[in-house]
């Protein structure tokens, strides 16, 4: 039996002079708020913003749509551009001149990145302050609340039948996180078109070209890295054994691309339960179960293959939520594990394809020399490298705090072979 008390800790508050309690539900791992007050449509955004910055959360008792508008108002306030510092003052004293110099000194890319992460964390805390009550059956007991049961069930699994029958279990969830579930439900329903999987027609048999990401599984919206796998020259050794490994498959998109390129058998590994379910669902949708097998494994499956592909998280750092594990790899653990084990799992004449952005290098989080040293220490050498410039919207957004690094970013497919 699952210990829900540990998974969903209890939170308490006072309402109408009576103590109240409910389960705190956060798939993002957000800690329960220490102070909760009830609020409704009479709460104005400025007051809410001030209290949220001080750590107060609001249990909403008003109209659901008005709660959404409050979150949007909080976002506008937290996203306001800071006032630019004044020009250095004439005849300023030494202390004032030092302060002016400190303000005017540009931060390093690494400092800019860490400041950006801090700002993101503060923004998330403020926007998570609006809390929504949720009944045991995932219904929302508020005016004009939509039916969110399907979105919640997809993300959390079916509600507990015993609690639903008793009507005794209450939950609190951040409205921002609840809206994230709704967004994930829409992504899952519509899917993401992947050009490398074809045009979606039925001309040559099953040609679905959409990947359907599940809640908590990173969506393949950045198509440039998928395109690299779709056009890189395949190793000649595949002629003798048509097999490939896809390490850390996520949604399964790269495994599907390899299968569509004609590789007879693809073993795709993953450890995250949501990603395993997602990849298996996508292989079924694409009618690729005959070619692709999704395995619950840490990095490599047993055996060797002529082609081994890995697209690890690109930034060394600690993830602050489950979805960020696709972006942040603390200590570059997955990158190091892939490189260290690659030679031992390659068939003779085989290649390992490492798909990696150099964004971390431009942020000062990892150097090119460090990456090349890891490759060399693993007994590998670079046969070739295929590069592509990203074309996502942030790459051209000059207002982005990390624009200087994004403008220089290159995504590469490193073709690695044993020494």
DSSP letter string, 181-222: HHHHHHHHHH-EE-GGG--S-STTS----EE-PPTTS-----
Coil, helix or strand at residue 391: coil
Interatomic CA distance for residues 183 and 177, integer angstroms: 10
pTM of the model: 0.87
Query: Which domains, and CATH codes, for the chain?
Result: 4-81+109-188 (no CATH), 191-418 (3.40.50.150)
pLDDT for 325 equals 82
Contact 25, 173 (CB under 8 A): yes
Query: What SS3 state is found at 11?
Result: strand
Cβ atoms within 10 Å of 251's Cβ, excluding its own: 25
Quote the pLDDT of residue 162.
55
pLDDT number for residue 30? 83
Low-confidence ranges of the chain (pLDDT < 70): 1-6, 81-106, 161-169, 200-207
Between CA 3 and CA 51 the distance in angstroms is 33
Tallying the residues shown for the chain, one arrives at 419
The alpha carbon torsion through 88, 89, 93, 97 (nearest 10 deg) reads: 0
- The residues with which 268 forms a beta bridge, in sequence order, are 246, 294
Confidence at residue 112, expressed as pLDDT on a 0 to 100 scale: 86
Give the pairing type, strands 411-418 and 346-357.
antiparallel
Give the helix ranges, DSSP H, for 157-298: 161-166, 175-190, 223-231, 253-260, 273-285
pLDDT at 393 (0 to 100): 72
Q: What confidence score (pLDDT) does residue 309 get? A: 98
Q: How far is CA 387 from the centre of its chain?
A: 23
- How much is the pLDDT for 225? 93
pLDDT value at position 295?
98
φ/ψ (deg, to 5) at 22: -160, 170
């Amino acid at each position: 039996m699952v210990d829900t008390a540990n998974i969903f800790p209890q939170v308490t508050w006072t309402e109408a002079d009576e103590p109240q309690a409910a389960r705190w539900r956060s798939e993002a791992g957000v800690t329960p708020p220490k102070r909760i007050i009830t609020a409704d449509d009479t709460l104005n955004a400025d007051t809410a913003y001030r209290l949220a910055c001080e750590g107060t959360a609001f249990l909403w008792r008003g109209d659901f749509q008005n709660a959404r508008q409050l979150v949007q108002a909080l976002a506008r306030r937290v996203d306001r551009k800071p006032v630019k510092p004044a020009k250095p003052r004439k005849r300023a004293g030494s202390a004032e001149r030092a302060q002016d110099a400190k303000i005017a000194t540009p931060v390093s890319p690494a400092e800019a990145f860490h400041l950006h992460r801090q700002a993101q964390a503060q923004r998330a805390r403020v926007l998570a302050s609006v809390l929504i009550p949720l009944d045991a059956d995932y219904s929302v007991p508020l005016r004009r609340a939509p039916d969110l049961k399907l979105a919640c069930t997809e993300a959390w699994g079916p509600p507990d039948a015993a609690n639903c029958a008793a009507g005794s279990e209450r939950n609190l969830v951040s409205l921002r996180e609840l809206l994230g579930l709704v967004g994930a439900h829409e992504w899952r329903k519509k899917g993401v078109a992947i050009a490398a999987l074809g045009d979606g027609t039925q001309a040559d048999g099953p040609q679905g070209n959409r990947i359907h990401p599940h809640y908590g599984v990173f969506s393949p919206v950045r198509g440039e890295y998928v395109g690299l796998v779709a056009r890189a020259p395949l190793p000649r050794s595949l002629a003798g054994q048509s097999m490939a490994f896809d390490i850390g498959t996520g949604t399964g998109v790269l495994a599907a691309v390899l299968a569509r390129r004609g590789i007879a058998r693809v073993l795709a590994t993953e450890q995250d339960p949501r990603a395993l379910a997602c990849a298996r669902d996508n292989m079924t949708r694409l009618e690729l179960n005959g070619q692709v097998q999704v395995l619950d494994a840490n990095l490599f499956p047993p055996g060797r293959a002529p082609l081994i592909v890995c697209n690890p998280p690109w930034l060394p750092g600690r993830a602050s939520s489950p979805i960020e594990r696709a972006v942040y790899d603390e200590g570059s653990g997955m990158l190091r594990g892939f490189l260290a084990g690659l030679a031992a799992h390659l068939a003779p004449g085989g290649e390992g394809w490492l798909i990696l952005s150099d964004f971390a290098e431009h942020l000062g989080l990892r150097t090119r020399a460090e990456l090349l040293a890891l490759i060399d220490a693993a007994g590998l050498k670079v046969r070739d490298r295929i590069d592509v410039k990203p074309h996502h919207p942030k790459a051209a957004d000059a207002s982005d705090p990390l624009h200087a690094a994004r403008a220089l970013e290159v995504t590469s497919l490193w073709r690695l072979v044993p020494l």
